[in-house]
């Protein structure tokens, strides 16, 4: 009898232990972009906290290609055991369905959301001598066909492309558009005055704005960023409907064990309260979600609303 009880206890215990034991080997964190970019850096900072607290390495694997959809496709098809997770973002889980006809995953149905990690606010910037002193004057220029305003973006599907498309579609304007391969070359031509303006994530632009080689008209979030306290929000500057942020969030493939998903989500909540992790994310100009915004349910809602938001805008822009 004792033995039976003991073994029953043991088996109950080992059932719990399996959940508690996760992870027992290194976990692959797929980043669907090249190493060194904003999403990669956010993933590495978050991954380090996971490695430290869960006792197993969270190894970043950069699987770049097709606007991040190559890596997310691989992640979606991975075995749902919690040993492959991925850093999705606004493009892969919001804009992709509208941009890629042959997308092999459904951002809404094929994932177990873990939680939102950080939002990266979008800045509207112009060359330093562009003849508009503030956002209102700039919008007036955009609306004036004679001004022939030239926009640069970092390639179809990039954050700078989608967010600038949102701007021009909200304003109902069409300007001259030059496509670049990546933010670097686009920014180079903006500093050199070959093009007039672009939209992109704050982390890519903050130092150039501070150094005065380009100027920022507005930041597209409700409150000013401590990284650039002098730059007004779009609400303050007179374009309140332009609210957009490149968010990064952790996902697991659909079907991971509930307790594993819960453990990953709980760890994320703690990571975003961790002093060192917060500090490094804030240095990037990121916005860290509040407690309510960190839950898997909140992320699922965000993905649904983002797909609904981007699909009509991007489909219209492609025509």
Partner 1 sequence: MEFLGHLALGFATALSPMNLLLAFIGCLVGTLIGVLPGVGPIATIAMLMPLTLKVDPTGALIMLAGIYYGAQYGGSTTAILLNIPGEVTAVVTAIDGHEMAKKGQAGTALGIAALGSFVAGTVATLVIAAIGAPLTKLALLFGPAEYFGLMVFGLGLAIVLARGSVLKAVIMVVLGLLLATVGTDLETGQDRLTLGIAELSDGVDFAVLAMGVFGIAEILRNLEHPESRDVAVSKIGRLLPSLGDLRRSLGPIVRGTGIGSVLGILPGNGAVLGPFASYALEKKLAKDPSRFGKGAIEGVAGPESANNAGAQTSFIPLLTLGIPPNAVMALMVGAMTIHGLIPGPQVMLKHPTLFWGMIASMWIGNLFLLIINLPLIGLWVRLLKVPYRLMFTTILLFCAIGIYSINNNPYDVYFTAFFGLAGYVFIKLGLEPAPMLLGFVLGRLMEEKLRQALALSEGSFMTFVERPVAAGLLVLAAAVMVIALLPAVSRSRAKAFQE
Report in angstroms how near the CB of residue 311 gets to partner 1 at its nearest: 15
* CA proximity to 76, closest of 84, 66, 68: 84
- Binding status of residue 318 toward partner 1 by CB under 8 A: yes
**Min CB(7)–partner 1 separation in Å:** 43
Q: What residues form DSSP beta bridges with 199?
A: 124
> In angstroms, how far is CA 213 from the centroid of its own chain?
26
The least CB distance from residue 198 to partner 1, in Å, is: 13
Binding-site residue total for partner 1 (CB under 8 A)? 56
Q: Which residues contact 97 (CB under 8 A, 6 or more apart)?
A: 103, 106, 107, 307, 310, 311
How far apart are alpha carbons 208 and 199 in whole angstroms? 13
CB of 150 to partner 1, least distance (A): 6
DSSP letter at 79?
-
Task: Give start and end residues of each alpha helix (H) in the chain.
Answer: 2-21, 38-54, 69-77, 90, 96-99, 135-143, 159-171, 183-191, 202-211, 234-237, 258-271, 275-283, 296-318
What residue ranges in 53-161 does DSSP mark as E strands? 58-62, 84-89, 111-127, 150-153
Residue 272 and residue 163: Cα distance in Å, rounded?
Answer: 26
Contact flags string 178-217 toward partner 1, x per CB under 8 A: xxxxx-xx-xxx-xxxxx-------x--xxx-xxxx----
Nearer Cβ to partner 1 (189/236):
189
> Is 283 near partner 1 (CB under 8 A)?
yes
What is the nearest approach in angstroms of partner 1 to the Cβ of residue 289? 21
Contact with partner 1 (CB under 8 A): which of 23, 27, 29, 45? Answer: 45
The dihedral over CA atoms of 198, 143, 243, 62, expressed in degrees to the nearest 10, equals -30
Return d(Cα 228, Cα 176) in angstroms, integer: 28
Give 241's contacts (C-beta < 8 A, 6+ positions apart).
170, 234
Among 48, 81, 110, 274, binds partner 1 (CB under 8 A): 48
Tell me how far, at minimum, the Cβ of 70 lies from partner 1, in Å.
Answer: 7
Applying CB under 8 A, which part among 4-12, 19-27, 116-124, 275-283 lies near partner 1? 275-283
- Beta pairing, strands 197-201 & 214-219: unpaired
Beta carbon of residue 300, minimum distance to partner 1 (angstroms, whole number)? 27
Q: How far is the CB of 272 from partner 1 (least distance, A)?
A: 17
3-class secondary-structure state, position 256: coil
Site string for partner 1, 132-171 (x = CB under 8 A): ----------------x-x----xxx--------------
Among 22, 27, 29, 37, binds partner 1 (CB under 8 A): 37
Cβ(157)–Cβ(91) below 8 Å: yes
Nearer to partner 1 by Cβ, of 158 and 233: the residue is: 158
Give the residue, chosen from 147, 177, 288, 313, that forms a contact with partner 1 under the rule CB under 8 A.
177
Binding site for partner 1 (CB under 8 A): 34-37, 40-41, 44-45, 48, 60-66, 70, 73, 99, 102, 104, 148, 150, 155-157, 176-182, 184-185, 187-189, 191-195, 203, 206-208, 210-213, 279-280, 283-284, 318
């Amino acid at each position: 009898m004792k033995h039976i009880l003991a073994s029953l206890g043991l088996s109950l215990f080992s059932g719990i232990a399996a959940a508690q034991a996760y992870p027992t080997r290194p976990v692959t964190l797929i980043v669907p972009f090249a190493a060194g970019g904003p999403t990669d850096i956010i993933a590495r900072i978050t991954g380090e906290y996971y490695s430290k607290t869960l006792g197993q390495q969270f190894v970043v694997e950069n699987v770049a290609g097709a606007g991040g959809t190559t890596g997310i496709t691989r992640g979606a098809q991975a075995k749902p055991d919690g040993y492959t997770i991925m850093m999705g973002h606004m493009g892969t889980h919001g804009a992709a369905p509208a941009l890629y006809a042959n997308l092999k995953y459904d951002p809404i149905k094929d994932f177990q959301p873990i939680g939102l990690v950080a939002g990266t606010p979008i800045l509207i910037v112009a060359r330093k001598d562009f003849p508009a002193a503030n956002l209102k004057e700039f919008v007036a220029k955009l609306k004036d066909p004679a001004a022939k305003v030239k926009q640069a973006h970092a390639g179809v599907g990039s954050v700078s492309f989608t967010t600038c498309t949102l701007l021009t579609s909200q304003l109902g304007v069409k300007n001259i558009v030059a496509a670049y391969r990546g933010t670097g070359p686009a920014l180079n031509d903006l500093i050199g005055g070959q093009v007039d303006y672009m939209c992109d994530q704050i982390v890519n632009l903050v130092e150039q704005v501070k150094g005065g080689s380009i100027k920022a008209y507005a930041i597209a979030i409700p409150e000013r960023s401590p990284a650039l306290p002098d730059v007004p929000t779009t609400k303050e500057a007179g374009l309140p409907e332009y609210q957009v942020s490149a968010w990064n969030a952790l996902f697991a493939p659909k079907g991971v064990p509930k307790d594993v998903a819960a453990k990953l989500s709980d760890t994320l909540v703690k990571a975003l309260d961790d002093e060192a992790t917060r500090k490094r994310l804030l240095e990037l100009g990121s916005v860290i979600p509040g407690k309510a915004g960190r839950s898997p349910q909140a992320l699922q809602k965000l993905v649904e609303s983002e797909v609904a938001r981007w699909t009509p805008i991007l489909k219209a822009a492609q025509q």
